[in-house]
Structure 1
C-alpha cells in the first residue's frame, strides 16, 4: 500500500522539479547553459508577439486587462506577425512581463484602475522606431551653467496623436520626432518657465536611438536617463529642480480639463518610494499639486506613489529632493492644451521657487 503513495510523492517531486526547470529556462534565457540554449526559445521569450499572446490569454480571466487591451487597440497577433516572430523580428524582454503579471504593478500601473491610476503605453518596436526619418538634427542643447531647472524625458518617444500625421490609435503614439512627442511638451514648459525669468536646461536626447545603440530595452530607460542627469549635473551644480516629463496613455476624457473656457491637458504626478529620501520628493510634489489644484481646479489627477512592485520605484528622484515625474496629458491632447498646461505648471513652480528662496534668505 505504501508503494503507490511513494510513487505519487516521487512523481510530484519530479513534476515540480521539471516545472521549475522550465520556468527558469523560459524566464531567464540569459542564464541558459550552452547545452540547453535554444535560439528559437530565446526569440519566443523576448518578443512582443509572445507578450501579446500571453496578455490575451490572461485577459480571459482579468477584466481590467481585457479593457486595457481594447483601450490601446492591441490586436491578436496574426499569422504574419507569427512569421516575423520566427525570423527574429523586434525582440522584447519577456521576463518583465511575467514580473508585471504577478505584481500589484500589473493591476495598479499598467492598467487604468477604478481609482484612475496612470496608464502605461506598451513599449514600441525600438529598432524600427530608431530608423524613423524625422529630418531633425541630433545635436543636444548647449549646457546652461546658470540653469536651476533641468527638464528631461526617460521615455522621449511617447507622442501625442493630434501632433502625428498618420497615427490614429494609442498604440501608434510613438515617435522620435521632437515636434510630436513629449520633448515638444518639455520645450513648451521650458519656454513658459523662461518667461518667468528662470534659467532652464532641456535635454532633447533621442532615447530610442541610445537604447538601441547600447543594446538596451524599455526597462533600461531610467538607467539611461540617470546617466544623462549625472552628465548634466557634473557640468552644472546649480541644478536643483529635475522634471521628467511623460504622457499618459489614457484617452481624452480622462486627460483633459476645461477651466475658465479653456482646455488643459491634465497632469499626474508620480513619486517613487523606493529610496530613503522619497518623503522630501513627496512633500515637494504634494505642495506643487496643492498649488496647482487651487489655481486651476480640475487640472490635476493627483499624486500617485509607486514602489518596485509598480515600476522602477525610484525614477531618479533620489538625486534631488526637488525631483518630479509628470505625466503631461495623454495620447489625445493637442498643442494648445499642452501649452495651457505648461503655463500653469510654470506659474506654480515659479511661485514655489520664489517662496523657497525667500525662506532661505530669511534663514541666512
Structure 2
C-alpha cells in the first residue's frame, strides 16, 4: 500500500512538472548578453530622411507661416561646388555662391507649409555688410509681417567642424549667431535655441548651437535689433558640397515647421 502511494505521488509530480520542462526547452531564457544589444537599438537616433536632396513636389500651402530670407554676405561660396563646376576654387564667388540655394530653400519650406519671401530688387554689388543691407531689410519688415527672418551665411570653418556624418549620409552643420549688443537680444537667442533644439531632434548633432557675440571686433547686433525673430544662421562651411547643403536645407525646413506647428508639450 505504501509503495503504491509513493508511485502515485511520483506520477502526479511528473505530470505537474512536464509542461514546465517542455516550455523551458522550447523558449530559451533571455541571457545577459542579449540586453545590451536591445538597449543599443533603442538608443540609435532616428534620422529624418524625406526629401533631403532634390526639390520636393510642390504642395498647396493651407496654413502658411511666413519666412523672410536674405543673404548679407551673398558671395560666400563652397569650394567643392566651385571645383565640380570647373571654377577656380575660392571662398567667394559673384555667381556660384550661397544664393544659388534659394530655389531649394523655397521648395523645401513650401513643402513644410512655410511661405518664403526673399530680398529682391537691390544692387548686390553695393550690399556687402550689415549696415548697407539694413535699409532694405527695414523696408521689407515695414511692409510685411513674418513669423521668422533668416539671414543665411556660410561659415569659414573647415569640414571637421561643419560636417556631420550619419550612417552613409553627411550633412552640413548649422550654427546660430546672435548679436548681444542690443537690449532685446534675449528674444533672438531664445528663438535660436528653440530652432537649434528642433534641428537636433531630427538629426542629433546637426546644429552646433547658439553663439552670442559682442565686444571689440564683431558687429554685435547683426540687424537683429530690427526684429525679435531675426536669426543669423551659418549653413555649413567652405568644405561642404551641394548634396550636404541640400540635405541640411530639408532638415531646416522640417525643423521650422515643427517649431511652428507641433503643439507645445505641457
Q: 1:207 Cα shift? A: 6.0
Question: Quick check: 1:230 aligned with 2:151?
Answer: no
Deviation at 1:331, TM superposition (A): 1.0
Shift of 1:259: 2.1
For 1:316, which of 219, 223, 226 is the aligned residue? 223
> CA deviation digits over 1:311-339, x for unaligned, max 9?
11111111222111111001111111001
- In the alignment, what sits opposite 1:182? 98
**Aligned pair partner of 2:210 in 303, 306, 315:** 303
- 1:158/1:175 contact within 8 Å kept: yes
Please tell me whether the aligned partners of residues 153 and 234 of structure 2 are also in contact (alpha carbons under 8 angstroms).
yes
Which protein is richer in helix relative to its size?
A: 1
Distance change >3 Å, CA 334–CA 225, structure 1 → 2: same
Q: Secondary structure at the match of 1:201?
A: strand
Spell out the pairing of 1:1-364 with structure 2 (5 A cutoff).
148-164=66-82, 165-168=86-89, 172-177=90-95, 180-203=96-119, 208-211=124-127, 221-236=129-144, 238-355=145-262
Shift of residue 205, structure 1, vs aligned partner: 6.2
Cα gap change, 1:326/1:304 in structure 2, threshold over 3 Å: closer, same or farther? same
C-alpha separation in 2, matches of 1:255 and 1:309: 25
Structure 1-normalised TM-score? 0.51
Q: CA deviation at 1:185?
A: 3.2
Distance 1:159 1:340, change over 3 A: same
- Relative to 1, partners in 2 of residues 1:188 and 1:308: Cα closer, same or farther, differing over 3 Å? farther
Matched residues in 1 for 2:101 and 2:220: separation?
Answer: 24
Q: What is the number of residues matched between the two proteins? A: 198
2:247 and 2:159 map into 1 onto residues whose CA distance is 15
Task: Give the Cα–Cα distance (whole angstroms) in 2 for the partners of residues 310 and 320 of structure 1.
Answer: 23
Contact 1:252 1:333 in 2 (8 A): yes
Superposed CA RMSD in Å reads 2.0
* Normalised TM-score (structure 2): 0.69
1:206/1:250 CA distance change after superposition, 3 Å: farther
Equivalent residues of 1:267, 1:326 under 8 A apart: yes
Judging changes above 3 Å, is the alpha-carbon distance between structure 1 residues 234 and 344 closer, same or farther for their aligned structure 2 residues?
A: same
Higher gyration radius (CA): 2
What SS does the aligned partner of 1:224 have? Answer: helix
- Conserved 8 A contact 1:250-1:330: yes
Structure possessing the higher relative contact order (Cα contacts under 8 Å, 6 or more residues apart): 2
Q: SS of the counterpart of 2:157? A: coil
